[in-house]
């Protein structure tokens, strides 16, 4: 076997004979690699050849998305907790609230809520079980505390997904990686929607302007994660899928509360060569969230469970992107931040009208959705709307 240089990347691609794959290596400066097999297995193979973590392109969806028997969505971190909310069942969905942190710990340690979002998904298909962590909240103190109390085992994780490059979604990541150094699976896939996810950011909207952080790609390398670019829809952990970058086709308007700094500084930031020609010539530009991802799961006989995360590019657009990526129109549940807090009531009503047309079985607003939207949705769609808190677990079954 030829010895590969540090600038060489490899991928599986279709060979000249139909149905056969071949291992292809090329200079990494040309483009990121494309893998045609399982992302985790390919990333491990690549790391073995190159000797360190390297970025890869995600495995695209070939054929239909997997049908799952069971999908459990646990809200690891969100804005607040209501400790005495009773668990219940809403038709086919089990809603399990956490309560107090006194089951295995004495009083003094319970769940921590903050303005940020982290979600854990456990999925089952036959005898297979997969675990995925989507987003990482604002602080490692909250994330690590809650993961311990909720009984989530980081050693079982099959993939990590970062929906977009805002600090309230990645702030807890580095501390989580440090806490679990040597425990995570080698070359654990870490999905992002594009290079602009790594740009340093300034918060430019009210109430306070200032530095909004930068994703520490050095920490990702030290943790031996396989940074996996998913600009297009891609499988995640063999069970779920990302939408890929979310187009703007609906009425929804993008607000830009942050600005991206273009370039690298001491190894942190975004590589201008991987951005568009218009972006790479600027020092700072308004954030367009082109890299934003939603993550979805197909529950057999029920439809899609779509995790929108933050919906900067629109919750309706995110749902439609999941539908287009999977070829499945039925939405069983949409859960996540809908980013509706900054908008006026008329815009909220437009969103509710669009959601009624999509007709999901359940709507579960989190994080940045805002109380005005919740109150309107409760009046308009009371049977569809479900309430969640930090620690709440939703179990969707076929």
Q: Are residues 170 and 24 in the same domain?
A: no
* CA angle, residues 313, 119, 239, in degrees to nearest 5: 90
Q: Are residues 385 and 269 in the same domain?
A: yes
CATH of the domain at 93: 3.60.15.10
Q: Are residues 90 and 42 in the same domain?
A: no
Q: Which of 63, 79, 98 is where one domain is finished?
A: 63
Question: How many structural domains does the chain have?
Answer: 2
Q: Measure CA of the first residue to CA of the last residue in the chain; give whole Å.
A: 47
Cross-strand partners of 235 = 241
Q: Are residues 203 and 330 in the same domain?
A: yes
Q: Are residues 246 and 263 in the same domain?
A: yes
pLDDT truncated to tens, each residue of the chain (398 aa)? 233 333 333 333 333 333 333 333 333 332 233 333 344 444 444 333 333 446 898 888 888 999 999 999 999 999 999 999 999 999 999 999 999 988 877 888 899 999 999 999 999 999 999 999 999 999 999 999 999 999 999 999 999 999 999 999 999 999 999 999 999 999 999 999 999 999 999 999 999 999 999 999 999 999 999 999 999 999 999 999 999 999 999 999 999 999 999 999 999 999 999 999 989 999 999 999 999 999 999 999 999 999 999 999 999 999 999 999 999 999 999 999 999 999 999 999 999 999 999 999 999 999 999 999 999 999 999 999 999 999 999 999 99
Q: How far apart are CA 49 and CA 61, in angstroms?
A: 25
Give residue 36's domain range: 1-63
Asked if residue 309 lies in contact with residue 295, where contact means CB atoms within 8 angstroms, the answer is yes
CA distances from 165 to 96, 110, 169, 200 (A): 30, 28, 7, 8
In the prediction, which pLDDT does 381 show? 97
Q: 227 — phi, psi (to 5°)?
A: -65, 120
Q: Are residues 125 and 177 in the same domain?
A: yes
CA distances from 52 to 5, 41, 45, 220, 354 (A): 12, 15, 11, 11, 46
Secondary element (H or E) of residue 220: helix 217-222
Q: Are residues 110 and 57 in the same domain?
A: no
In the prediction, which pLDDT does 54 show? 64
pLDDT digits (tens, 9 = 90+) for 334-379: 999 999 999 999 999 999 999 999 999 999 999 999 999 999 999 9
Collapsing DSSP to helix, strand or coil, 370 comes out as coil
Cross-strand partners of 373 = none
In the prediction, which pLDDT does 368 show? 96
Q: Which of 16, 31, 63 is where one domain is finished?
A: 63
pLDDT digits (tens, 9 = 90+) for 20-62: 333 333 333 322 333 333 444 444 443 333 334 468 988 888 8
DSSP, res 147:
H
Q: How many other CB atoms are found less than 10 A from the CB of residue 128? A: 13
Q: Are residues 112 and 259 in the same domain?
A: yes
Q: Are residues 46 and 84 in the same domain?
A: no
Q: How far apart are CA 314 and CA 355, in angstroms?
A: 12
Nearest to 132 by CA among 148, 154, 149, 116: 154
Q: Are residues 41 and 86 in the same domain?
A: no
Burial of residue 358 (CB within 10 Å: 0-12, 13-18, 19+) is middle
Q: How far apart are CA 293 and CA 36, in angstroms?
A: 21
Q: Are residues 320 and 378 in the same domain?
A: yes
DSSP, res 165:
S
Q: Are residues 30 and 138 in the same domain?
A: no
Q: Which of 63, 78, 99 is where one domain is finished?
A: 63
């Amino acid at each position: 076997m030829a010895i590969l240089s540090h600038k060489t990347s490899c991928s599986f691609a279709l060979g000249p004979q139909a149905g056969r794959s071949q291992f292809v290596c090329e200079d990494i400066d040309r483009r990121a690699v494309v893998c045609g097999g399982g992302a985790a297995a390919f990333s491990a193979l690549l790391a073995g050849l190159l000797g360190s973590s390297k970025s890869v392109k995600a495995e695209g969806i070939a054929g239909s998305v997997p049908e799952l028997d069971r999908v459990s969505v646990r809200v690891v971190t969100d804005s607040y907790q209501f400790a005495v909310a009773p668990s219940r069942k809403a038709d086919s969905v089990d809603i399990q609230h956490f309560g107090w942190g006194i089951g295995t710990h004495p009083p003094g340690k319970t769940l921590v809520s903050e303005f940020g979002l982290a979600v854990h998904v456990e999925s089952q298909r036959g005898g297979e079980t997969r675990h995925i962590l989507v987003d990482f909240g604002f602080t490692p103190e909250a994330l690590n505390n809650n993961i311990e109390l909720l009984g989530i085992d980081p050693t079982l994780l099959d993939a990590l997904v970062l929906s977009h490059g805002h600090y309230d979604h990645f702030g807890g990541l580095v501390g989580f990686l440090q806490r679990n150094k040597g425990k995570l699976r080698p070359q654990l896939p870490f999905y992002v929607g594009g290079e602009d996810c790594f740009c340093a950011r300034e918060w430019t909207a009210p109430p306070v302007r200032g530095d909004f952080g930068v994703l520490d790609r050095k920490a990702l390398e030290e943790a031996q994660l396989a940074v996996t670019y998913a600009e297009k829809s891609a499988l995640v952990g063999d069970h779920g899928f990302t939408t890929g970058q979310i187009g703007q086709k609906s009425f929804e308007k993008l607000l830009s509360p942050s600005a991206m700094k273009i370039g690298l500084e001491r190894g942190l930031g975004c590589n201008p060569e991987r951005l568009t020609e218009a972006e790479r010539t600027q020092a700072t530009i308004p954030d367009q969230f082109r890299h934003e991802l939603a993550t979805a799961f197909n529950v057999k006989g029920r439809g899609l469970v779509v995790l929108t995360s933050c919906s900067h590019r629109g919750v309706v657009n995110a749902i439609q992107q999941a539908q287009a990526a999977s070829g499945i129109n039925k939405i069983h549940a949409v859960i996540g931040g809908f980013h509706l807090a900054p908008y006026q009531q008329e815009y909220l009503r437009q969103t509710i009208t669009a959601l009624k047309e999509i007709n999901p079985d359940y709507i579960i607003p989190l994080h940045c959705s805002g109380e005005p939207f919740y109150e309107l949705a409760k009046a308009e769609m009371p049977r569809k709307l479900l309430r969640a808190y930090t620690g709440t677990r939703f179990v969707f079954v076929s």
